[in-house]
Amino acid sequence: MGLLTDPAGLRGRQVLVNNHGLICGVLYFASLVWFCLLASDQVNSATYLSENALLPGLVVLSSDVTTDTKNYLKELDVVMKESNRIPTAWIRGKFTQMSIESYVHNFTLNYPLGRGQRFEGKNVYGIIRGGGSSTEAIVLSVPFRGDDSGFPSTTASLALLLAITKYFREQKYWAKDLIMLITEHEQLGMQAWLEAYHGVTCGTKGVLEAGDLPARGGSIQAALNLELHSTKMKYIDVKILGLNGQLPNLDLVNLVHRICSKERSRHSFGNLEKVHNLPPNEQYFHSLYTMTFMVLGQATGVPDGNHGLFHRFGIEAVTMEGHEADGNGQHITLHHVGRVVEGVFRSVNNLLERFHQSYFFYLMTDTDRFVSIGYYIPCVGMMVGALLIRAFSLHVSLRGQIDDSINSKNDYNTGGVFITGLLCFLTGLVVFQIPIISTKILPVYFNFSTAKSVLTGFVGISIAALIMVEILTKVLGPREWTLLSIASLLYLGTMILAVAMSNFSLAFLSSIFIVPMALLVGSKLPRFVRTLICLLCQPLLLLTIVISISTYIHFGDLDRAVQTLAETLVLTSVDTLVYGATSQVIPILAYTPGWLMVYVLCRAKHVTTAKPKKD
């Protein structure tokens, strides 16, 4: 304990304190280099199946659903011309012809940011009861999309689901219940069905009225979501990203890829296929691009398919998206996809226990290579280490000031630091409520749209926070600055570690901006430079910069940047209220208070640098 309470305990450890700036800088850049090295085949590993019951070689596939799929697709085209809504009666009629239980699930969305708007939807599902006691189940789902949908059609998926259901109904080897689910309104319908199936509410109570299900199957072990946009596909993209950055068990991902390879169906991850016999340097950049794609997608916390909503319930799920083939060259047909679906269901049907043996935390560098948590977590560890070393050095300096204060009989008041920290956290709570507050006030008095109201609310509270900081900087003294700096460093380090436990990608990308900002507070840079750096890391401004760059890359201009920013803020607010997503919770409740404390220090005229007291 002498090391923490007495500066004299630093004898023999002066190198760490005197050179903390250099050490922190080395740790920061070492973290970035470590991350880049993860893409090397000498660091990452080849995928493998941990559960022997899933081995695709044990499954003999015999399905041929081509004829049935084409017939269902022709009928569906006729039905779709009559209405863009989900054809519940037609689907239930097909299930009834197969002697399968069929049910309709109704749900309602009370739009949380509008003027009492209500949206209704329906899901249709059928259940093939297994030969056991119905204690376990597997789900095959398809999102229904009408002609007015902004996404590619999924009629081919629905036709294949009905055809494979007919084939499954004729087999007698099923040990688990098979649930065939068609959902409406994309992820909203899936969320409502899952909440009704498990009897829970994930978002804000009263926003999504999931209702009750007429019937249930067993405990769901796995789910496969189909998004096929054509009868002829170039390749199948396997999607794995889930809500809040959650991932399915790696065994299920490997199973899908291996069965695709077995059936000679081209498959990819992140729309990037496996390329064999690449030169080492090209292979490295291919792996680095794939891994970066996954990190950027996982950091958003937004699922890239309906499968992403299963993970929070302990259900392993992936989406198979079939992209339409161009021209008359080699392509994948619905026959191939049907065989892959059969292989996945037959393999999962062999399981005697839940998925547990493989990884839940990993980064994919290719369709058959991955990085485990033990290799990528040091990236965050080095970032946090830089913050803790800086905090320790300031602690030593502060202890010397306290000793001098005691000897000179001066008081040392920490009340100002406590009030500053409290105000920063209260500001974060107010910011979190801005979408609801602004959409209730601004549309009424100024006739603003929902998107404009939310954006105006965030801009207004950001300006108010900057004014609050200018007032706080006139209250605290030099010693309080040092104590606040230590508190902000410890808070930011703890926050990054906590976020990394569930979403490494978000923690790592955030630390790239947070760590330099926090370390430069006590540097010898002019106050104007420190303030500018901190302002560039302001949450709303940083999001604006990212969206502007993305808009320019995709559309070649910045005219849509403001509109895209407003829509992004609305969507993240709705995701939080409906799905219980953390895509807005973490930046506001975790990042905003830490950024405010750092900005208070940037605006301070006197910030104590870390210098140990000499004997």
What does the domain layout of the chain look like in residue ranges?
2-39+375-602, 52-351+362-367
Whole-number pLDDT of residue 58: 64
Q: How far separated are the first and last CA of the chain, in Å rounded?
A: 19
Lowest mean pLDDT among 141-150, 386-395, 487-496: 141-150
Two tokens at 486?
């230590």
Q: Does domain 52-351+362-367 have CATH number 3.10.310.10?
A: no
3-class SS of residue 434: helix
DSSP characters over 532-553: HHHHHT-HHHHHHHHHHHHHHH
Per-residue pLDDT tens digits for 379-420:
999 999 999 999 888 887 776 555 555 444 444 556 777 888
Count of CB atoms within 10 A of residue 90's CB? Answer: 17
Q: How far apart are CA 504 and CA 245, in angstroms?
A: 8
Question: Minimal CA–CA distance to 252: which of 56, 9, 1?
Answer: 56
Please tell me whether the overall predicted TM-score, pTM, comes out greater than 0.95 for this model. Answer: no
Question: Minimal CA–CA distance to 239: which of 164, 294, 179, 184?
Answer: 294
Per-residue pLDDT tens digits for 59-83:
777 777 888 888 999 999 888 888 7
Whole-number pLDDT of residue 190: 95
Lowest mean pLDDT among 37-41, 85-89, 600-604: 600-604
State how beta strands 118-128 and 101-110 pair. antiparallel
Whole-number pLDDT of residue 20: 80
Two tokens at 188?
């909203």
Q: Phi, psi (5° rounding) for residue 585?
A: -65, -50
Q: How far apart are CA 181 and CA 125, in angstroms?
A: 4
Count of CB atoms within 10 A of residue 447's CB? Answer: 9
Nearest-10 Cα torsion for 571, 577, 578, 581: 70
Amino acid at 438: S
CB 243, CB 343: distance < 8 Å: no
Amino acid at 599: Y
3-class SS of residue 104: strand
Average pLDDT over residues 157-180: 92
Whole-number pLDDT of residue 606: 53
Whole-number pLDDT of residue 6: 52
Name the band, by pLDDT with cuts 50, 70 and 90, for residue 117.
confident
DSSP3 helix / strand / coil % (the chain, rounded to 5): 55, 15, 30
Count of CB atoms within 10 A of residue 8's CB? Answer: 12
- Residue 598: pLDDT above 50? yes
Amino acid at 397: S
Per-residue pLDDT tens digits for 201-249:
998 888 999 988 999 988 999 999 999 988 889 999 999 999 999 999 9
Whole-number pLDDT of residue 476: 62
Name the band, by pLDDT with cuts 50, 70 and 90, for residue 352.
confident
